[in-house]
Structure 1
Amino acid sequence: MTAGTHGVGILVFDGMKMLDLSGPAEVFSEANRFGAHYRLTLVSVGGKPVHTSIGLRMPVDGDARAASAFDTFLVLGGDPLPGSPVAPELAAAARRLAQRSARVASVCTGAFVLAAAGLLDGRRATTHWEHAATLARRCPSARVEPDAIFVKDGNTYTSAGVTAGIDLALALVEHDHGPDLARQVARSLVVPMQRAGGQSQFSASLQGPAPKTPVLRLVQEAVQADPTADHSLEALAARVRVSPRHLTRMFRAELDTTPGRYVELIRFDLAKALLDAGHNATEAAAKSGFPSYESLRRAFARHLGLSPTRYQQRFASTDRASRRPRTPARGAGAVTS
C-alpha cells in the first residue's frame, strides 16, 4: 500500500450477499471523496471468481492465502453459512488474514466464518437477528448480542444483517477519520449516522419452534385464538388444569420466561402486525389485548425502545412514504405535485 492508504481486504466466496459487499464498499468509496484513502482488495480461496447471492459472477484481485497484510480485514455474509459448517479452507483463510490485519470485521452472517476460525472465542459479537441463537450455539464461548446493530470488541467488529454493514463501515470511517468526515459520507449516501433502536424492531419476537410441552402449546393456542380474553396466570392455569405455580415452573423450564411475559409477547407481535396493516395505535392496543394505549406504549418501549407511532412510521408502506408532504427547500416556495 502507498503511504497514507488504508488497505481493506474483503474475503468473498460463492453465495456471498451482494449487499454485504456493495454497502460497505460504497461507504469507503464515498469517504475517499472527502479525503480518506481506502483501497479495497477482493480475495477468495484460490483466487477464483465467485458467484454472488443474486447470481452475478464476481472477479477478485487475488488469492486469500497469498494476500499481504491489510489494515482492515472484512468477511461478508451469505445465506448458506448458518445452515451448514463453514468450509475449512474458508475458515483457514479468514484466520490467516486476521492474523495479518490490524482490524477484523464481519457483515451479517460473516460472523459464522469468524467463529469457525476461532476469532470470536471469548468475545462479544452479533449477527443477523434470525441467526443469533444459531451463532451462540455454534460458538458458545462468544457472547452474542442479538439486538445490536454492530458490536466492537477490541479490534474485532461484527455487524447485524445485510444493511447493517453500512452502519459498521460508517463506524470504521468515524474511527479512522472522525465524526465530521463520517457525517459527510452519511449525508451523501442519505443514511443515518446511527439508526435508532436495535435489531429487535425488525424481528419477530416469538420466532422459533412451538413449545414442546402440550400444556404450553395449549396456552399459546388459547392466547393466539383470543388475545383480548383474560389470560392472567390464574385464568391460564385453570384453563389447562394445573396450578399457577406448576404452570410458572413449566414456562421457566422450557421457555425461560413467565406466563405473563409470554402472553405480552404474543400480544406485542399481534400489535406490530396491526400497526403494519395500517391500524392506529389505539386500535392496535384494543385488538391485540392490551388494556390501553399506554400499556402498549410501555411494551414497545421495553422491547424496541420506540413508541408505537415511531415504529409505524419506520415500517409504513413505501407508497405512503412516497406521498408524504415534502418540506420546501430553504428559500423556495411550496412544492406542489
Structure 2
Amino acid sequence: MKASHERTQNVFFLLIPGVHLLDMAGPAQVFDAARALGAPYRLFFCGTSAEVRSAQGVVFSQLASLPQCHEDDLIIIPGMRRLDFRFPLLNAEARSWLQRATHLGVQIASVCTGAFALGEAGLLNGRRCTTHWRRVEQLQQRYPEAHVLDAVLFVRAGPIVTSAGIASGIDMALALLEHSRGPVFAAQVARELVVYMRRNSMHAQTSVYLAYRSHLHSDIHRVQEYLLEHPAESVSLKQLAAIARLSVRSLTRAFKEATGITLIQYQQQLRMELAATYLQATDSTVEEVATKCGFEDVRHFRRLWRRQFGAPPSLSRQLYRTEKKDYDEKRRHSAF
C-alpha cells in the first residue's frame, strides 16, 4: 500500500483522432491495476479537443484539456490508424505541450504509431526509438535524425520511451512500473492482468511467448505449455510425446506442421527469451545465465545470441544498463 507521504503520480493519455483502443487500454489497465494494488496513480485522458473518435469507432468525449505537468508525471501517446498519415498529427498546442514537458523532465512514452507524434514534436532527433514493425521504414524516412530500431519491443532514450505495436504497450507499461516501483510489484500487476509472462526491451517484437500459437492442435498446445513453464529443464522427446499423448514420430511431425518450426528450435527460442530476462535483471555472468537457461555449451549460447541480437550477450547487457543509467542520471538532475 502507498505511504501517506508519497506523491500521487499523474498519468496523462494524449488521445489523437484515430486512436487505437488497445494501444490506449493496455497501458491504462496496467496503471489502473497498479492503483488498485495501492500505488498512487491518477489517470487522465486528454486532448486538444473535447471529443475524439477512435479507429474502432468508439467516441471519447469530455476529454480533459492539456494540463500543466510536473517532473514525475508520465505522458502516454497511444498509436493511431491515420497512416495514410495526414500530417500534421498534432496542432501547435500539443507540440508545445510535449516539448515543455520534456524540458521539465517529464517521461513521455508512445505506443506503436504514437512515435510519429513524438517525431513531429522533434523529440526523436538523435534518439533511439521504435514503432510497429510495418512502420519502421516510414518513421525513419520521415524523421531521418531519429535512430529507428526494428527488432525490439520498446526503447528507452532519456525521458522518451517508444514501443512497437499494439500489445507491446502492456509490456512497456509494466516495464515503466517496474522501473519506478520494483520488479515484485510489477509482477503482482502482471498476475492481476493474467499476463502470462512479461517481455522487456531485450526481446524481439515477435516474442516466442506469443508466436506459434495460432494453430488449433490441442496436443501441441499442451507441449508448448509445458515447455513455457519449464524452459530450462532438460526434457526428452519421449517425455514430450507422453504429454502430447502421441508417438515421438507423430509429435515431431505434428509440431512442425502446426508451428512451422521444430521442437528444438522452439525450446531454444524460449531459452533465449529467458536469458534476455536474466541478463537484464541480474548480475549473473554470461556463463551462469547460459547454465540457468538450460544451455550445456556456453559457446553455443553465445552464437545463438549473436545471431538473434547482432551483438554478444555482454554487450547487449552493457547497452541496456548504460541507457538505464543515463536515464536515471538525467531524471535526477532534471536535464531535460
When the two structures are superposed, what TM-score results if normalisation uses the length of structure 2? 0.58
Where does residue 189 of structure 2 map in the other structure?
Answer: 185
Q: Which amino acid aligns with 1:80?
A: R
Instruction: Give the 3-state SS of the residue equivalent to 2:125 in structure 1.
Output: coil
Distance in structure 1 (CA, Å) of the matches to 2:36 and 2:54: 27
User: Does structure 1 residue 124 correspond to structure 2 residue 104?
Assistant: no
Larger radius of gyration: 1
Say which of 62, 65, 72 aligns to 1:63: 65
Paired residues, number: 220
Change (3 A) 1:59 1:279: closer
Where does residue 199 of structure 2 map in the other structure?
Answer: 194
Where does residue 233 of structure 1 map in the other structure?
Answer: none
TM-fit CA distance, 1:92: 4.1
1:103-139 per-residue CA deviation (whole Å, 9 max, x = no partner) reads 1111110000000000011001010011011111111
Distance in structure 1 (CA, Å) of the matches to 2:29 and 2:85: 29
Change (3 A) 1:300 1:54: farther
TM-fit CA distance, 1:282: 6.2
Kept in 2, the 8 Å contact 1:69–1:101? The answer is no
- Percent identity over the alignment is 36
1:99-114 matches, within 5 Å, as: 99-100=103-104, 102-114=106-118
Say which of 25, 32, 37 aligns to 2:35: 32
Where does residue 53 of structure 2 map in the other structure?
Answer: 51
Say which of 9, 12, 16 aligns to 1:9: 12
Distance in structure 1 (CA, Å) of the matches to 2:22 and 2:65: 22
TM-fit CA distance, 1:84: 3.3
Kept in 2, the 8 Å contact 1:129–1:160? The answer is yes
Change (3 A) 1:281 1:87: closer
Where does residue 227 of structure 2 map in the other structure?
Answer: none
1:57-99 per-residue CA deviation (whole Å, 9 max, x = no partner) reads 11244222xx111511111111114633233405444334444
Distance in structure 2 (CA, Å) of the matches to 1:193 and 1:282: 24
Q: Which amino acid aligns with 1:57?
A: V
Distance in structure 1 (CA, Å) of the matches to 2:89 and 2:169: 23
Instruction: Give the 3-state SS of the residue equivalent to 2:124 in structure 1.
Output: coil
Change (3 A) 1:102 1:300: closer
Q: Which amino acid aligns with 2:69?
A: A
Q: Which amino acid aligns with 1:68?
A: Q
Where does residue 278 of structure 1 map in the other structure?
Answer: 258
Q: Which runs of 5+ in 2 are unaligned?
A: 209-253, 266-302, 311-336
Change (3 A) 1:199 1:304: farther
Kept in 2, the 8 Å contact 1:82–1:134? The answer is no
Distance in structure 1 (CA, Å) of the matches to 2:146 and 2:134: 17
TM-fit CA distance, 1:33: 2.1
Change (3 A) 1:276 1:158: farther
Distance in structure 1 (CA, Å) of the matches to 2:155 and 2:88: 22
Distance in structure 2 (CA, Å) of the matches to 1:12 and 1:300: 38
Where does residue 165 of structure 2 map in the other structure?
Answer: 161
TM-fit CA distance, 1:3: 5.6
Change (3 A) 1:60 1:101: farther
Where does residue 136 of structure 1 map in the other structure?
Answer: 140
Instruction: Give the 3-state SS of the residue equivalent to 1:133 in structure 2.
Output: helix
Where does residue 206 of structure 1 map in the other structure?
Answer: none
Kept in 1, the 8 Å contact 2:255–2:262? The answer is no
Distance in structure 2 (CA, Å) of the matches to 1:102 and 1:77: 19
TM-fit CA distance, 1:277: 5.8
